[in-house]
Structure 1
Amino acid sequence: MCGIAGLYRFDGRAVLPHELQRMSQAIRHRGPDDEGFYREGPVGMAFRRLSIIDLSPLGHQPMTNHDGSLWIVFNGEVYNYIELRDELRSKGYAFRSQSDTEVVLAAYEEWGDGCLSRFNGMWSMAIWDTKKHELFCARDRFGVKPFYYYRNHRHFVFASEIKSILQDPAIPREPEDEVVYNFLFEFKRDYSHKTFFKNIFQLEPGHYLKISHNILTIRRYFDIDMAAEAEPADDPTYAKQFYGLLEDSIRLRLRSDVPVGSCLSGGLDSSAIVCVLNQLMLKDGIDKTVIGNRQKTFSAYSDMKEVDESMYAEKVIEKTGAEKNTTLPTARQLAYELDRVVWTHEEPFGTTSIYAQYCVMRMAHDRGIKVLLDGQGSDEMFGGYDQSLYPYLSSMIRKLQWRRFLNEIHTIETNGKKLSFGAKITTALGALPTRQASRLRNYLILNFENGIHRDFISAMGATDSLVSVTSSDLKTSLYHDFRLVLRSLLTFEDKNSMAFSIEARVPFLDYRLVQYVFSLPDHQKINSGGIRKYILRNAMQGIVPDMILKRRDKIGFATAEKNWLNEGPLRDKMMDIFHSKTFEQRGYFDYAAIRKKFKSLPQLRHEKIYINFWGCFHLEMWLRKFIDGRA
C-alpha cells in the first residue's frame, strides 16, 4: 500500500525533479517508509512506500523489469501473487524480490492488460512502456484504491490523491456544480468519473486507460455478471459454499510481513471477519508475526445509547478472546481537528460517522498496526440497508401479491423494524416504472425545505436528479448500491486509513465471493420476514454470537451526531459558518432556511428535517480550504 503520482507531457518537454518532489510530498502520509522517482524526458513518476510485503530495499519503486523497458508505480496488494509468481516462473521469468509489485510487472509484460483479470486484490497503478512510449493505468475491480487524474492538451497528471495533482499551480481550482448539486440534493458522491473539482476525474472501478501517441482511451475490463445463476441448492449448501469463499478470502488477506488487526463495530459484517479469523487461528496456526498471540480489534464507541454498539463488540471479544482497543470520538475533538479532517478527505462527506472511522485508524496506528481488515461491501451485496427492503417489498406489489405483501409488512414490524411513512412511499414508488418513479420521488423531495438555493436548483435542471434511481427489483437495486454507494465508503476508508499510514483490506470484496453472491437467488439475501443478509447469518451459525446474528438494525461506526449538532463547540462552529457572508453568497445554499432550522434544531428533535446540516457545513469548509484558500 502506497501513494503514486506522475506526469506525462504531450509537448515533449522534460519533467523537472521539483515537480515530482512536490507531488510526492503532498502524499507523504500514504508512504512514510521510502520514496522514489523516475524521469525520462516528458514522463515522470513518484512513489511513496508503505512497506507491507518484502520490507527489503528490493521492494523499492518505481520498479523496472529485467531489460528496463517497463517502469511501474503500484499502490495496493495482489494477494495471489505467490501463485502468479510460480506460473510466471514456469514461463521463464526470474524474480529478484519477494514483492507482489514485481509479479504485477511481469504479468503485464506477459499478458498485457489481460493480466488484470488474473489479479485477486486491490490496486491502482501506472506502467510506462519505454519502447512503445505508452502509459498504462488501471484501477481494481471495485475501486478499493483510488486513481485521480487531470488532462488538458499539454499534459496528463495522475495521483492517489487530488491534493498531489493540485501541486501544479496551473491547474484551475473550480467546484464541479453537478457533483455539488447531487451531494446537496441526495447526499451522494462518487457516482461517476467526476469529482468535486472541475476537470479532475477519477478512473472508475474496473477500468484501465492508455495514452499512446498522445491519445487517451479508457476501457472497462470488469463488470459483475448479472446473468450468472448459482446451481440450485438448499440453505445449508449455499451457506457452506459462501463460508468457504469468505474463509479463503480472509486467509489470502493475511499475507503480510507486518502486523494485521481488525476493525470491529459490533455489526454482523465486522464480527464475521473477526470470528472467522479466530477460527483460522485455531485451525491453521497462523504466523504469530502477523496476528500475534491474540487478534487485535479496534472499535469506536459512542456515549449516545441509540448508536452505541459496544455491547455487541464486547460479545465478540468475549467469544474470541481478542484484544480490544476502543476510542470514543467527541464533538469537541472533531471541532479541534476539523481543518485536518477536511484536508485529509479532499472532498465533502455527508455524515460525521466518517470521523469515527478516522479515530479508529489513528488508534490502530498508535498501537503499531499497519494493516487492518474491515467489513466494507457486505451491506451492498446482501441488502443490509433499510432501503434494500423497498425493492424487496415493491416487487410483491408489481406481482399483485397483496396478501404476501401485507404479511411481510406485519412480520417485519412485529420483529421490531417499524417502517416509516417515507419507507412505505418509497416502496410504492418502486412499483412504478423507473423513470416515472425517479421523477416523482425527486418532485416530492423538492417540495420540502432541503437547504438548496432555488436558483441553483433551476440552473441544474430542477426536478431531474442526475443520480436518483428507484430500482424495480432487488438484484438491480443491490447492483446499484454496489456500484455507487460502496464507492464512497471505499473512498472514505482509503482516506482515513492512509492518513495514518495504514493499509485497509476488505475480505468481502474478493471478486470470487462478490460474483458468487450476485449469482444467488434473492431469498438468500433477503428472506421471509425481511431478514437481511440471510446467507451470511446462516454461514455464521455457531461462529458469531447469537446476539449479533439476531440483530435487525444497522449502525456501523456511528457518532452522536444529533447531540453534536444540538450543543457544544461543533454547533458553535457551524452556527458561525451558516451566518457568514461567504456562506450566504455562494449561490448553493438556501441560507435563510438553514439558519432558521438550525437555530431551532434542539426543539425539533421529533420533526423530520430534510436539510443535511453537516453536509452543507462541510461543503462550505471544503470550498474555503481548497477553492478559496488554495490549500
Structure 2
Amino acid sequence: MNKNASAVGRKAIKAINDLAAHRGPDGEGFFFGKQFALGHRRLAILDLSRDGHQPMAYGKRYVITFSGEIFNYLEIREQLLLDGYRFSSETDTEVILCAYDKWGTACVERFNGMWAFCLYDREKDILFCSRDRFGIKPFYYSDTPRRFVFGSEIKQVLCGKGGSAVANVRAVRDFLIEGYSDHTRETFFDGVSALAAGHNLVYSLRSHRVDERRYYTLTARDDLPALDEWAASERFLAELHRSVAYRMRSDVKVGTCLSGGLDSSAIAALSSAVTRATSSARFQAIHAKGGSGRLDESGFARDLAAKCDIDLFVIEPSVDDFIEAIDEVVYCQEEPFATPSIFMQYFVFQKAKQIGCKVVLDGQGGDEVLLGYERYYSAYLRSLPWHAAIREFFSITGHSRLSPREVLGYLLYFSVSRIRIARLKRKFAYVRPEYLLRFPNIANLNAACRNVRALQRMEIERFQLPHLLRYADRNSMRHSVEARLPFLDHQLVEAAFAVSTRFKIRNGWTKHILRVALAGLVPDNILWRKVKLGFEAPDAAWLEAAGADMQAAIGRSAIVKHMCKDKPDFDKIDRGTLWRLYSIAKWEAIYSVQLTAGAGESPRSSGCSNPNRTPHPIRMN
C-alpha cells in the first residue's frame, strides 16, 4: 500500500510474494488496486483445481488473499446455500467471501479454524484483515508515513517497507533475561508488529487509518461446570474427536506428529480411527528420536502405533544434521528462539514433506488447555484448603518427576516474584543495569499464580502458546506442510477452560481428565507417564559440538555487546542462557540486524532477495 496514491508495481509485489514461496509452492497470484496490491502463494489443500486460485474474487465487490483453513466451511456453506448464495468452487476461501457478504466483519465469529486474511471491499473502500482466535496463522504488518505493508512472514514486511532491519531492544531484553518472546504485539524488529490473536484490522483506503479491534475473548462455556468427572471426560473426548475429524478434512494426505507423549498420542489414536472409518490406507505418523536413555521416547511411539495400526516413521537427527541446519532454521524462524528442540520439530516436518504428508496434525495446545505444565502445581496448591493442599502435595511427588523439595521450590518460585527477580539479577550480573530495573512480565505472571484460571488465560494469550505457535508455523510452512492443531479448536478450549480444576489436576496427575477419557484408546504406559518430554533434543551433545562457533558468534554480536557491561563467562553460563545468547547473535548476523535505524526508507532493499539462498539467505543493509 502506497500512501501517496501511486500504484504498486508488479516487480515490487512479486519480490515480496517470492519470499513466501515455500508457504505456497502450488501457484501464485496478484491483484492490483489503484494504490495497493495483494499477492498470494497457494498451498493447495481443498479443491486442488484452478477454482481455488487466489487472490479470489466474489462478484465485482470483493477480493481476498487467505492463509489457513476454515474447518467448518461445509456447515457454513450449507447455511449460505439456504440463504440463496451460490458457489463456483469447493473451497473454504469462497465461503469466507460469501460469509462476509452476509454477516460483514462479524463473519469471523462463525468460523472454526485458523486464518489470516485480507479482504478488499470495493464499496466500503477498505481492507478487512483478520487473524484467528489464538493466532495459529501469522499476520505481520508495518505502518509508516509512506507505506502500509503486511504479510505472513516478517521478511516480507521488511522487504515491503524498504528499510534496514533494526533491533527492538525491548524484545531482545525480555527474551534474554526473562525468556519470553511473542508476548506482545511487538516483534524483535523495530517497526514490525503482529496483528494480535482474536483481532480484526480495518485499513481505510481513503484516510489510511488503521482500526484494530478485538473480536474474541476466551470465556468458559456455562454448560460444563456442573458435570461430574466422568461426564466431563466423556464430553471432552467428544469435543476432541469432533475437532480431529474437522481437521482431517482435506483433499491431500494427512499425517501426524507422534512424540510418544499423552497429547500427540491422543491425536494419533483418534486420527487413525477416523482414517480407518473412511479409507483402507494406514494412517501415518512421524517420530523424532532424541537419543538414548531419558531422551528416547521412541518405545512409547511404537507402542501407540502398534495399538492403533499406524504406519510410524522414526527419524534421529544427528549432530551433523543440527549443525548443517542452524542457519536455515534461524532464517526460517525469523526471530530468536529459546531451545534447540525447535530443530527436532523442523526435521519432523521435513520428513513429512518427504513422505508426501501435506497436512500434519500436532498436539500443540494440550498442555495449555489442560494444565499440563508442572508450574501449574503452584497455582493449584494455593487454590486448595490447607488440609487438601497437604494431601495433594504428597500426591504430586508420587505422580510427577518432582521431589518434595522441587515442589516446594516451584511453589515459591512461581508465587513470589521477588525470588525470581533476585535470581535473575544474580544470573545476569554481566548485563547493563538499565536492563535489570523492571520485571513487569514476571510480576504479572506471579500475580496470576494466585488463580489457576487467570494463569491459564495468561499462558494461552501471552506467555506460552504464542511462541510455540510461531515455531510450529515456521517449521511446517518452510517445508510447504500445513500444521493443524486439534487441541486449539476454540469450542474445545472453551470447554476445557470451564471444567473444574480438580478434574484437570487430580491426585497429583496433570491432564487427569484426558487420561481418564483415553482409557482403552491409548496404552496405559502412555496414559500414566510421569515424565513429560516432547521431541526433546540432545542439547548437551549438540551444543558441545557447536560450542566454538557459538562463542565466536556471541563475541561478534553488536547487540550482545551493547546489552552487556562485561563479557559473559561461558564457563559459568547454563545451556539455556548460552543458547539464547547464540540465538540472538545468529539472528542478528543472518538478518543483518542493526541497533539503530539507517537513513530511513529507501526504494531498494536487499531484503527482497532469493528466499532459497543459503547459508545466509537474507541481508537487510
TM-score, with structure 1 as normaliser? 0.90
Pairing 1:414–2:414 present: no
Residue of structure 2 equivalent to 1:27: 20
Write the distance in 2 (CA, Å) between the matches of 1:523 and 1:260: 35
Match of residue 58 from structure 2: 65
How far is the alpha carbon of 1:467 from its aligned partner? 7.2
Partner Cα separation in structure 1 for residue 527 and residue 420 of structure 2 = 36
C-alpha separation between the residues in 2 aligned to 1:452 and 1:245?
Answer: 50
Q: Which amino acid aligns with 2:56?
A: M
Structure 1 residues 89 and 467: alpha-carbon distance in aligned structure 2, compared to 1, 3 A threshold:
farther
Contact 2:139 2:151 in 1 (8 A): yes
1:467-506 equivalences under 5 Å are 468-470=444-446, 471-484=449-462, 485-506=464-485
**Matched-pair contact (CA < 8 Å) for 1:456–1:587:** no
Q: CA deviation at 1:275?
A: 0.9
Structure 2 partner of 1:319: 307
For residue 32 of structure 1, give the secondary structure of its aligned residue in structure 2. Answer: coil
Q: Match for residue 496 of structure 2?
A: 517
Task: Find out whether 1:251 has 2:251 as its counterpart.
Answer: no
Tell me the amino acid that sits aligned with residue 538 of structure 1: V
Q: What is the match of residue 404 of structure 1?
A: 388
Matched, 1:36 2:59: no
Where does 1:300-449 land on structure 2 (aligned, <5 Å)?
300-396=288-384, 399=385, 401=386, 403-419=387-403, 421=405, 423-428=407-412, 437-438=416-417, 440-449=418-427
Q: Specify the code of the residue in structure 1 equivalent to 2:589.
A: R
Shift of residue 451 of structure 1? 7.1
CA distance in 2, matches of 1:62, 1:367: 29
| C-alpha RMSD over aligned residues | 2.0
Question: In the alignment, is residue 299 of structure 1 matched against residue 287 of structure 2?
Answer: yes
Query: Are 2:586 and 1:621 aligned?
Result: yes
SS state of the match for residue 41, structure 1? coil
Q: Tell me the CA shift for residue 83 of structure 1.
A: 1.3
Q: Which residue number in structure 1 is paired with residue 609 of structure 2? A: none
Q: 1:577 to 1:271 in 2, by over 3 A?
A: same
User: Percent identity among equivalent residues?
Assistant: 34
Distance 1:540 1:88, change over 3 A: same
Q: Report the secondary structure of 1:412's partner residue.
A: helix
Report the residue type matching 2:227 in the other structure. Answer: A
**Helix, strand or coil: the match of 1:469?**
helix
Closer/same/farther in 2, CA of residues 360 and 572 from structure 1, 3 Å limit: same
After superposition, the Cα gap between the structure-2 partners of 1:34 and 1:467, relative to the gap in structure 1 and judged at 3 Å, is: farther
1:12 to 1, 5, 21: 5
Structure 1 pair 550/343, CA: closer, same or farther in 2 (3 Å)?
same
Determine the C-alpha separation between the residues in 1 that align with 2:542 and 2:552.
15
Question: Residue 537 of structure 2: SS of its match in structure 1?
Answer: coil
Match of 1:5 in 2: none
**Shift in Å, 1:340:** 0.9
Give the Cα separation in 2 of the matches to 1:453 and 1:513. Answer: 43
The reply on whether 1:534 has 2:512 as its aligned counterpart is: yes
**Aligned equivalent of 1:560, options 526, 530, 538:** 538
Shift of 1:411: 2.2
Cα distance, 1:420 vs structure 2: 7.0
Structure 1 segment 69-148 matched on structure 2, within 5 A: 69-148=61-140
Q: Deviations over 1:104-148 (max 9, x none)?
A: 011011111110011011000001111221011000001110000
* Ranges of 4+ aligned residues in structure 1 off by more than 3 Å: 226-229, 419-423, 428-431, 461-468, 581-585
What is residue 602 of structure 1 aligned with on the other side?
none
- Mapped to 2, the partners of 1:469 and 1:18 lie a distance apart of 46
Alignment length (residue pairs): 591
Q: Structure 1 residue 301: deviation in Å?
A: 0.3
| AA partner of residue 54 (structure 2) | Q
Distance 1:225 1:128 in 2: 31
SS state at 1:532 partner: coil
Stretches of structure 1 that go unaligned for 5 or more consecutive residues are 1-7, 432-436, 599-608
Counterpart in the other structure of 1:164? 156
Letter in 2 for 1:494: D
- RCO comparison, higher one (Cα < 8 Å, 6+): 2
Check conservation: 1:449, 1:611, Cα contact below 8 A: no
Q: Does 1:588 align with 2:563?
A: yes
Q: Partner amino acid for 1:597?
A: K
d(CA) in 2 for partners of 1:165, 1:510? 29
1: CA distance between counterparts of 2:435 and 2:509? 38
Q: Which residue of 1 aligns with 2:526?
A: 548
Q: By how many angstroms is 1:424 displaced?
A: 2.1
Q: Which string of whole-angstrom CA distances, capped at 9 and with x for unpartnered residues, describes residues 154-183 of structure 1?
A: 221000001111213633421111111110
Q: Secondary structure of 2:427's partner? A: coil
Which residue in 1 is equivalent to 2:612? none
CA contact (8 A) 2:399 2:509 kept: no
